[in-house]
Amino acid sequence: MPVPKRKVSKSRRDKRAANWGIKPAIVAVCSTCQAAVLPHQVCKECGHYKGVKVIRTKSDRMYDRTQVRQAREAQVKGEQPEKSQVAN
């Protein structure tokens, strides 16, 4: 097994790691909501990727929940729910 012939100095050793430095994160802009996102990632704010809605966000689910609750409350009160209040 090979063995080093001489001690590697601290400066020579540390030169190898000189180019490992931290690089700034590359940030893109969502084409739909203009939020900062990582490149090639789905926007967590609006759920779009390349202009296409691919995931439901927390705000989407919250909106759907309120629509369903309002429709239930209207049925309990005996009113006819409006078409905009009925969730799909």
**Three-class secondary structure of residue 73 per DSSP:** helix
Note the pTM of the prediction, 2 decimals: 0.53
| Predicted pLDDT of residue 22 | 85
Same domain as 61, residue 40: no
How confident is the model at residue 37, as a pLDDT?
Answer: 95
Q: Could you say which DSSP state residue 33 is in? A: T
**Same domain as 36, residue 61:** no
Count how many domains the chain has: 2
Res 48: pLDDT: 93
Residue 3 resides in a domain: no
Is residue 40, in this structure, part of any structural domain at all?
yes
> What pairing do the DSSP bridges indicate for beta strands 48-49 and 36-37?
unpaired
28-32, 65-69, 78-82, range with the lowest pLDDT: 78-82
61 shares its domain with 51: no
Q: What average pLDDT does this structure show over 36-47?
A: 93
Does residue 1 form part of some domain? no
CA-nearest of 32, 68, 24 to 50 is: 32
Distance CA 48, CA 41 (A): 9
The one-letter amino acid at 19: N
Q: Provide the residue range defining the domain that includes 68.
A: 57-88
